Structure 1
């Protein structure tokens, strides 16, 4: 593929010290940039195949191990037995285990049963049966040895799956509505655009050295299930005044320690333009993104500094070489839960059946069971969602009752409680080297406790647990967001716990969660805390008032 020409400089006043390529500053300003300049991350694939898989873990160059391996979805996982207090103290080589997490791209989330079964087999053969659905629709496996990776790639790629650029400073796995092409209320089917971008640009050296990760969403979902408000680039389905379906363009969203909502550029993107517009925005990020400090290297910082008007001007003038027309904003999201759990009618008269694995945790055997259940009921495909859930598509009306019964019997809830439906958790200290606390089991136990204590609660309520400050589980946009950290308990002991964020929300009036001074809870006390605040909400809420709306007016004492 040809590399797009670098744009000419156009008086963008930014200190060279930010390391922006377009301003002529090409010398690497940190170790990550030095590694990328020394060798493109895409080149590590052949070394894994030819050298590392044959000579073993000890043969791996550290610059590949903790850097370029990410370009193929590989992270060393956390060595067991290292507590959260040591996360920020130990050197990377002290935290590294000799095993890997491997992330499989499932752009748009839709999988054939053959693909799901191959992932299940790879999980059982090489990953101790582990599998997690992430909140970016990917599937992650653990306990992978370097010797296994080439065969894993062969098997995955034979069915059209890949780990290429699943991590790293690259265009990572792209979000799409799991119901694309079948939802009765869909504005536009975004699959052709997502597929074209993937085929043209994923693995292209033109975009394999970005300042940081680059997250994409493309969807015409009426429920806005891909949360366009927090991606680096989002294409949101709209219909213009002429009745043409296309996309509204949003850029510069992201969470982590400096959360920012994305900005509308106010343009209408025709479907055939989407790939060029995507490449233009990615090109701006590559060329003008801040490469000096990793903490400021996300696109959101550039967009925040430039503003939407300037960003649109640079996109059109320097990259697209044509003007995009003004366009409409998206309609309000459908419904009060932006997910696809439950049984719902497709436009073709069949049904889709969305179900809730427990905090996204699967296994090789469970994936096989899902595939078998789907096949027995006439379906040939499933999909993952960004809520760590799954959907079986194309179920005939007469098969619905039976498939629901089989899924429920496998603890894959089609009619889950609010707590099962809307609780998410990141990987946590079990495998992640950045984590401070455990999350998956804590979230699972929290669900059980809340179902027992609050059996009649049925209001929408998102509870997101994160093991560190990086917000992989989107804590700032949850009703109850829990950021893992060490806290002091009643006995004066330092233990695992969470800082609490309350009332985060998407939609027409998005806001990040409210932080109440000193509001923290130990992991042990978490069920008591959540029960207390939910009961306060139930007692005090007005008719139709959401949890986030109540939080904004509640007394601090009622939030503690």
Structure 2
């Protein structure tokens, strides 16, 4: 890509923030006008992409908060798939769902349906801070060091939809893990916070910048650290060359030591440069099979999916099966497999067998 593209995108963002295109989406939907090329770029801030196969159709990508879905949300996604998306529903890596074949005039209806079950597409793409990636067995892992749900929700609340972070040089992806076994990420996040045991049952988080460990912080320091890093990228990232506009390119240009110096001057505490021995338990992969949960009387069931492409009936059948066995929620792994979080232990085996029949295979 040319430098002109970077300059053009910067001009487009300066002319109108991507977050401000929402009203235009509704206007295009009502009037039936063809979106401008500039607004098509801004649409990405709301997870909307013009479909390559046909310029009259769009696809939308829905990031899942903490990667989680409940039965009601599953049913809504199935309904959207059937009514508006030609039965398409694809799982994407990074804990996201994608619909295809959407018409412009249907987008407001789809947004409303998502909103009614506490889902949205804000900051799915564009030059924004993305929804944080979490460990798929967080809160149910018997070996986890800390439940990171509250921290992850606070990070999403601070960034998603916040205009202060809607015009970065490029995307910024964070992840957080409270377990020793790792999250089996497909690619290295820009920023990751990984729990490690420290002294008498205390937990510190390793801060990793593009995979490089720079020190330890406490759980209460994570949000401030995340904000400081996002602001550094916002202020110093490259906005003139699209090929050098990523967060990793900034680190490559500065070097990790220079970045650390800027970060240290941006926060009111010290990142601990101590040797506590980073936990190195081998990753458990996708957590397939029936597993004991940290919640008494429950099990979690990891299932392999053979394809990331589903139909509305696949998802309805999944929701019905969960309800039949008194389970209510699942999480997507970062590579697109699923984990049933709250199967009653007395029904876990029967549920696993039925899931296998529906091509969600726990027995790997």
Give TM-score, length-normalised by structure 2.
0.94
Q: Do structure 1's residue 285 and structure 2's residue 243 form an aligned pair?
A: no
Other structure's SS at 1:98 match: coil
CA distance in 2, matches of 1:130, 1:145: 13
Alpha-carbon shift at residue 397 of structure 1 (Å): 2.1
Task: Report matched runs for 1:146-161 at 5 Å.
Answer: 146-161=104-119
Task: Report matched runs for 1:294-313 at 5 Å.
Answer: 294-313=242-261
CA distance in 2, matches of 1:201, 1:277: 13
In structure 2, the residue matched to 1:217 is 175
Other structure's SS at 2:243 match: helix
CA distance in 1, matches of 2:248, 2:200: 32
In structure 2, the residue matched to 1:369 is 317
Alpha-carbon shift at residue 173 of structure 1 (Å): 2.7
CA distance in 2, matches of 1:204, 1:353: 35
In structure 2, the residue matched to 1:192 is 150
CA distance in 2, matches of 1:330, 1:159: 39
For the pair shown, the structure with the greater C-alpha radius of gyration is 1
In structure 2, the residue matched to 1:538 is none
Alpha-carbon shift at residue 33 of structure 1 (Å): 0.9
Q: Do structure 1's residue 74 and structure 2's residue 32 form an aligned pair?
A: no
Task: Report matched runs for 1:50-61 at 5 Å.
Answer: 51-56=27-32, 58-61=33-36
Structure 1 stretches of 4+ moved >4 Å: none
1:229–1:250: 8 Å Cα contact kept in structure 2? no
Alpha-carbon shift at residue 132 of structure 1 (Å): 1.2
Aligned residues: 360
In structure 2, the residue matched to 1:44 is 21
Q: Do structure 1's residue 410 and structure 2's residue 362 form an aligned pair?
A: no
Alpha-carbon shift at residue 400 of structure 1 (Å): 1.7
1:169–1:210: 8 Å Cα contact kept in structure 2? yes
Give TM-score, length-normalised by structure 1.
0.62
Q: Do structure 1's residue 30 and structure 2's residue 11 form an aligned pair?
A: no
CA distance in 2, matches of 1:193, 1:369: 33
In structure 1, the residue matched to 2:70 is 112
Alignment RMSD: 2.0
In structure 2, the residue matched to 1:354 is 302
CA distance in 1, matches of 2:165, 2:109: 27
CA distance in 2, matches of 1:72, 1:330: 38
Other structure's SS at 2:20 match: helix
In structure 2, the residue matched to 1:93 is none
Other structure's SS at 1:351 match: strand
Alpha-carbon shift at residue 344 of structure 1 (Å): 1.0
Alpha-carbon shift at residue 404 of structure 1 (Å): 1.3
Change (3 A) 1:126 1:408: same
2:59–2:102: 8 Å Cα contact kept in structure 1? yes
Other structure's SS at 2:339 match: strand
Alpha-carbon shift at residue 228 of structure 1 (Å): 9.0
